Amino acid sequence: MVAPSKLVPPSQRARYRSHYRELLRQTLVRQLVLYFLPLLLLAAFFNLQYWRFTEDSRRSHLSVIAEQQANTLDLFLRERLVNLGNLIDDQAFIAHCCSQEYLQSALSRLRQSSNTFVDLGVVDGQGRQVAYQGPVRFPSSVSYRRESWFRELMQGGGHWIITDVYLGFRGQPHFTLAVKRRRGDSVQILRAALSPEKLTEYINTIEGAREVQAAVVNGKGVYQVVTRRGGAPRSRSPFLPPRQPPRGYLDHPDARGSSQYAYAWLGGTPWVLVVRDTGAGRRAFAWMPSMVPLITFGFFTVMGVVILIRARQLVGKQLAAEQHEADLSGQLVQAAKLASVGELAAGIAHEINNPLAIIAEEVGLLKDMTDPELAADQEPLDLAEHLDAMHEAVFRCRDITRKLLIFVRQTEVKLEQWHPHKILDEVLDGMMGNELRISNVEVERDYHAGVLQMVTDRNQLVQVMVNLVKNAIDAMKGGGHLGVRTSHQDDHVVIVFTDTGCGMTAEQQEKVFMPFFTTKEPGKGTGLGLSVSLSIIKNFGGKMYVDSAPNEGSTFTIELPYEIK
């Protein structure tokens, strides 16, 4: 694709601009893919890794909290059980268990251990509360026989039980610790109500910096201890982690559909401590990953600008190179033209010498006639006849030089309407006429009547035809026959040159259009003619090809579109 130069018509300059855009686009895409893609992949990879890392970090943070706090809770509850156990095993209790005074002092002693103890009660094997010390006013005789904790304690093999948080007879949230002892045939149970407030405070402490939310949930998914922020106590919680493994982090939706929290089941009671991130906690960890895309984006923008600049540079360089190549190509065309002119010049010099010789002799004769020695008894000259002959010879010279000059002059490409037959005739009769005659080449024209005018640059087309005719003449040493036939198909003209010359081998046919390939002896041909002719025809949007066989002549065919595209 030839860039603008003097030899390219304006219509091709528009093509040049779109060519530039296309080239720029391609280069940009290539550069972007080359540079951006790996960076993008790398950035994505690192981002992912970082995210995973922070995730893991968060997860283990929560898991650690859950485990540690669950342990602490466990310990707390165990201590309270131990308190009760000590009391029920105390000899003094066994002796004075139903005494109000005793119970009162026992309760205050318990409360010294931990002020979660609210009250104290002694229950017999049938569930009747036989003694009570505490703030609650019970109805006369309260029976726990139907209470599930009583039944479980009585039926189970264990000696103690911890209940869930419930309202019970008193109508206030509390949970019960109870220990059971056999006294001979009967069973004695010491129960104590504990206030969940302490636990709630405890949960609050865990929640401390508001990074996490914690709650204690029972085996059925009901909140036991929960902060106001987290939910309503004794309501259904969205959490119900699996029993196995007893400690862990939940990544996927559980039975309730919630996901992503750390949990740890307590050892003593079927309670689980659930810890999860609050939004604030997430945000604290999340600031980095959100910075990274921003930084990456900024970086990519800078890179994008750099790439754009570079792409333009590259395209500019490439276009300069193409321009240079086009210039060289233009120079080559001109050089080929001049070289073929050099070849023509020999023939033309010969041509000019004839009329010059005529003039020389006519002048010489006139001078002779004025020489008395020579002109002695000669008939007088018909002056007019000799002067006419000179005149005619002069104009012959002029025509010859003119046709050479026209051929040589480097003109701008001018696309005009020409009839191919007219151009052919000009070449066959005018420029190459004499040479054809002298070389004994018989020319036979077979013009198709339907061939129309075409849009072309006359000078370049003439250059091609002169080249083909000259080659034909050179192939037919001693003379021959040159057939020139035209025809047309749809939108193009077909011109065929057939000679009866020495022909070409298959190998020569392959190379014949290549620059600097010639079958002539050194100094007799540049080898540029056909390659330049081919590039001219191609520029016109046409085709040129050859068919030949050794000693059977050659046929060169040119196909040219009527309109140059």
C-alpha distances out from residue 532 to 177, 459, 482, 537, 538, Å: 109, 13, 22, 9, 10
Tokens linked to 83: 């308190």
Q: State the nearest-atom distance from the C-beta of 479 to another protein, in Å.
A: 9
Enter the DSSP assignment of 222: B
From 3-11, 186-194, 303-311, 357-365, give the range in contact with another protein by CB under 8 A: 357-365
C-alpha distances out from residue 478 to 499, 503, 524, Å: 13, 15, 17
Q: Is 353 in the site for another protein (CB under 8 A)?
A: yes
Q: Is 82 in the site for another protein (CB under 8 A)?
A: no
From 184-192, 225-233, 237-245, 351-359, give the range in contact with another protein by CB under 8 A: 351-359
Q: Is 474 in the site for another protein (CB under 8 A)?
A: no
Q: State the nearest-atom distance from the C-beta of 394 to another protein, in Å.
A: 13
Q: Which of 136, 292, 319, 375 binds another protein (CB under 8 A)?
A: 375
Cα torsion at 70, 71, 77, 78 (round to 10°)?
150
Q: Is 345 in the site for another protein (CB under 8 A)?
A: no
Nearer to another protein, 315 or 476 (CB): 476
Nearer to another protein, 106 or 393 (CB): 393
From 67-75, 277-285, 317-325, 374-382, give the range in contact with another protein by CB under 8 A: 374-382
Q: Is 358 in the site for another protein (CB under 8 A)?
A: yes
Q: State the nearest-atom distance from the C-beta of 398 to another protein, in Å.
A: 17
Find tokens 């636990």 and name the residue: 199
Nearest C-alpha neighbor of 223 from the set 256, 252, 189, 191 = 256
3-state helix, strand, coil in the chain (%, to 5): 50, 20, 30
Nearer to another protein, 388 or 552 (CB): 388
Q: Spell out the SS3 assignment of 223-270.
A: EEEECCCCCCCCCECCCCCCCCCCEEEECCCCCCCCCCEEEEECCCCC
Q: State the nearest-atom distance from the C-beta of 359 to another protein, in Å.
A: 8
Are 65 and 262 within 8 A, CB to CB? yes
263 vs 270: CA distance, rounded Å: 13
Nearer to another protein, 385 or 490 (CB): 385
As beta bridge partners, residue 188 has: 124, 181
Q: State the nearest-atom distance from the C-beta of 465 to another protein, in Å.
A: 22
From 242-250, 371-379, 468-476, 553-561, give the range in contact with another protein by CB under 8 A: 371-379
> For the packed helices 529-539 and 458-475, what is the interaxial angle rounded to 10 degrees?
140
Q: Which of 33, 349, 452, 549 binds another protein (CB under 8 A)?
A: 349
Nearer to another protein, 321 or 357 (CB): 357
Residues in contact with another protein, shown as a per-residue x/- string from 388 to 427 under the rule CB under 8 A = -x---x----------------------------------
Are 110 and 123 within 8 A, CB to CB? no
- Give residues with Cβ within 8 angstroms of 76, minimum separation 6: 114, 202
- Residue 244 CB coordination number (10 Å): 7
Are 211 and 27 within 8 A, CB to CB? no
**Helix (DSSP H) and strand (DSSP E) numbers for the chain:** 14, 17
Nearer to another protein, 332 or 356 (CB): 356
Residues contacting another protein: total by CB under 8 A: 24
Q: State the nearest-atom distance from the C-beta of 393 to another protein, in Å.
A: 8
Q: Is 524 in the site for another protein (CB under 8 A)?
A: no
343 vs 323: CA distance, rounded Å: 30
Residues in contact with another protein, shown as a per-residue x/- string from 301 to 340 under the rule CB under 8 A = ----------------------------------------
Q: Is 368 in the site for another protein (CB under 8 A)?
A: yes
Nearer to another protein, 350 or 520 (CB): 350
What are the φ/ψ torsions at residue 508 (nearest 5 degrees)? -65, -35
526 vs 404: CA distance, rounded Å: 19
Are 551 and 502 within 8 A, CB to CB? yes
Q: Which of 365, 387, 452, 549 binds another protein (CB under 8 A)?
A: 365
Q: Which of 115, 126, 440, 487 binds another protein (CB under 8 A)?
A: 440
Q: Site residues for another protein, window 13-32 (CB under 8 A)?
A: none
Q: Which of 364, 402, 487, 520 binds another protein (CB under 8 A)?
A: 364
Find tokens 């640059």 and name the residue: 457
Q: Which of 164, 277, 362, 559 binds another protein (CB under 8 A)?
A: 362
From 38-46, 242-250, 320-328, 385-393, give the range in contact with another protein by CB under 8 A: 385-393
Q: For residue 245, is the peptide bond before it cis, meaning its omega torsion is within 30 degrees of 0?
A: yes
From 210-218, 353-361, 398-406, 505-513, give the range in contact with another protein by CB under 8 A: 353-361
From 1-9, 61-69, 243-251, 436-444, give the range in contact with another protein by CB under 8 A: 436-444
Q: State the nearest-atom distance from the C-beta of 447 to another protein, in Å.
A: 24
From 28-36, 120-128, 307-315, 355-363, give the range in contact with another protein by CB under 8 A: 355-363
Instruction: Give the 3-state secondary structure of residue 381.
Output: coil
Nearer to another protein, 313 or 440 (CB): 440
Tokens linked to 553: 């002549």
Q: State the nearest-atom distance from the C-beta of 387 to another protein, in Å.
A: 12
506 vs 503: CA distance, rounded Å: 10
Nearest C-alpha neighbor of 164 from the set 215, 120, 225, 111 = 225
Count of residues for the chain?
565
What burial class does residue 420 get, using C-beta atoms within 10 Å of its C-beta: 0-12 exposed, 13-18 middle, 19+ buried? buried
Binding site for another protein (CB under 8 A): 346, 349-350, 353-354, 356-362, 364-365, 368, 374-375, 378, 386, 389, 393, 437-438, 440
